[in-house]
């Protein structure tokens, strides 16, 4: 399996390790893969936890109480009866686990688009959509990040998908379903559901014209793993749309979505380096907006 190029990055106050342990306990074939301590960051001493849920990699950070999860970004979990004869039972078990201390956003039941579907916010505030997929449809991976375009971004899901398809390689449009007439406040022709592949990874997107009190924020960002400085420069130039948001490898695109443009080498440094090396790298990258790979290497090597 090639390296997962785009990794969802979850911002917790202090619960990153707890959450990773919770998720890896309730998802099949899951494990924590690394745990790194960083010192003297703007959030104080912090922890970055990398974990894998059923073959899909996430990162989580203890970053302090600055950002809260909301349903603008959720994770679809596809239970496919053609691949798993216990799909419905396994869906129900995962739902019960995610429901511990959580909040139902759409109850688990039959809908026109699925025999079994529900949308839930877990006890940490992260949102999951569990769906029994139609086995006759195109095969999709087990976990797919889903973007909901709301407020001033509502109606832009299709345009955003086209934009991301133009930026990332190994990309293609999947399906697209539009709102029919008489679905106000959702506009006829806006995107009820769409998906697209970026770097061999699937993402879903939809518009919502409902009154929501949330939109994209830094609680969920997407970390792009770059092989070299050319890749860092390319993604930074293509995606960054808000100079105010540029900080420590983070940026915001024209739709308000947060990305981190980060060298793969940084992960290797963090996992293999001594505490002194990590401290030097941390104090160096905290002064950067876009990452400078040579300066990071120099800091690491002392």
Domains and CATH numbers, the chain: 6-66+217-301 (3.10.180.10), 73-207 (3.30.720.110)
Say what the pLDDT of residue 139 is: 82
Give 202-212 pLDDT, tens digit per residue: 999 999 999 99
Better pLDDT: 200 or 1: 200
Average pLDDT over residues 12-33: 97
174 with 195: CB under 8 angstroms? yes
Q: Tokens 């994770």 — which residue?
A: 75
Q: How many residues does the chain have?
A: 302
Say what the pLDDT of residue 231 is: 98
Give 269-296 pLDDT, tens digit per residue: 988 989 899 889 989 998 999 999 999 9
If pLDDT is split at 50, 70 and 90, which confidence band does 136 have? confident
Burial class (CB in 10 A: 0-12, 13-18, 19+), 89: exposed
Cα angle value 79/84/85 (rounded, 5°): 115
DSSP E strands, the chain: 6-12, 31-41, 44-53, 56-62, 73-79, 103-111, 114-121, 127-132, 143-149, 172-178, 191-198, 201-207, 220-226, 250-252, 258-263
Average pLDDT over residues 182-206: 94
Cα separation, 285 vs 294, in Å, equals: 11
Q: Tokens 């877990």 — which residue?
A: 122
If pLDDT is split at 50, 70 and 90, which confidence band does 13 have? very high
Cα separation, 13 vs 66, in Å, equals: 7
Name 241's Cβ contacts closer than 8 Å, sequence gap at least 6: 251, 252, 253, 254
User: Which tokens is 97 given?
Assistant: 């686990």
């Amino acid at each position: 399996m090639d390296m997962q190029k785009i990794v969802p990055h979850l911002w917790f106050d202090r619960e990153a390790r707890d959450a990773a342990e919770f998720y890896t306990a309730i998802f099949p074939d899951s494990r924590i893969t690394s745990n790194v301590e960083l010192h003297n960051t703007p959030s104080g001493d912090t922890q970055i936890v990398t974990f894998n849920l059923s073959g899909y990699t996430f990162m989580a950070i203890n970053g302090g109480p600055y950002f809260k999860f909301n349903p603008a970004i959720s994770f679809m979990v596809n239970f496919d009866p053609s691949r798993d004869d216990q799909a419905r039972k396994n869906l129900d078990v995962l739902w019960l686990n995610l429901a511990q201390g959580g909040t139902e956003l759409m109850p688990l039941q039959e809908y026109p688009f699925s025999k079994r579907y529900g949308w839930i916010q877990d006890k940490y505030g992260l949102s999951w959509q569990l769906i029994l997929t139609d086995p006759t449809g195109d095969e999709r991976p087990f976990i797919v990040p889903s973007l909901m375009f709301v407020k001033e971004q509502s109606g832009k899901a299709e345009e955003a998908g086209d934009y991301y398809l133009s930026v990332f390689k190994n990309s293609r449009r999947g399906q697209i379903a539009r709102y029919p007439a008489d679905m106000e406040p959702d506009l006829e022709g806006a995107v009820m559901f769409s998906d697209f592949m970026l770097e061999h990874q699937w993402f879903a997107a939809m518009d919502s014209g409902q009154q929501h009190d949330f939109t994209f924020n830094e609680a969920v960002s997407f970390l792009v793993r770059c092989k070299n400085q050319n890749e860092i420069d390319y993604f930074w130039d293509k995606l960054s749309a808000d100079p105010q948001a540029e900080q420590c490898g983070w940026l915001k695109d024209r739709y308000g979505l947060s990305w981190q443009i980060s060298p793969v080498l940084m992960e290797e440094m963090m996992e293999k380096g001594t505490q002194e090396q990590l401290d030097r790298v941390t104090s160096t990258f905290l002064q950067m907006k876009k990452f400078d790979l040579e300066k990071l290497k120099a800091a690491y090597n002392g």
